[in-house]
Amino acid sequence: MQTLNGVEYRSIDDRGLHYTHNGTSHLLEVDTIVICVGQESDDHLASELRRLHVQFDVIGGASLATHLDAARAIREGVELAHGIGVRQSYQHE
């Protein structure tokens, strides 16, 4: 795992996540993306993903911004990641 600061997310498409870091464009080629950002409710991305018929999940403060609870958000993230892993293992059988 690598953590980057000062990243600007440009787009998500069939190839993966397009982003800019330190002025250089990059493509992270992935089939699953988990976005964990901020503590203020903003459903702009969810609305756009719904419009594009992209499968996604909303967890933590993005799901319920009142009574922010980091432990709950982490638990939801772990449970979601586990579920993604289970779904992918069944697809490969």
pLDDT digits (tens, 9 = 90+) for 54-91: 888 888 777 776 666 778 888 888 888 888 766 655 55
Largest CA distance in the chain: 41
Q: Which domain holds residue 12?
A: 1-31
Give the bridge partners for 44, in sequence order: none
Do residues 44 and 86 both lie within one domain? yes
Name the nearest CA neighbour of 69 among 27, 33, 39: 39
Q: Contact at 8 Å (CB) between 34 and 49?
A: no
In the chain, what percentage of residues exceed pLDDT 90?
A: 19
Mean pLDDT of the chain: 80
Do residues 24 and 52 both lie within one domain? no
Q: Describe the chain by its helix, strand, coil percentages, rounded to 5.
A: 35, 20, 45
Give the bridge partners for 20, in sequence order: 8, 25
Measuring CA to CA, how many Å separate 18 from each of 23, 54, 56?
13, 16, 17
Do residues 45 and 90 both lie within one domain? yes
Q: According to the model, what pLDDT value does residue 27 have?
A: 96
Do residues 92 and 53 both lie within one domain? yes
Do residues 10 and 50 both lie within one domain? no
Do residues 50 and 79 both lie within one domain? yes
Tally of domains within the chain = 2
Do residues 20 and 42 both lie within one domain? no
Do residues 52 and 92 both lie within one domain? yes
Do residues 23 and 41 both lie within one domain? no
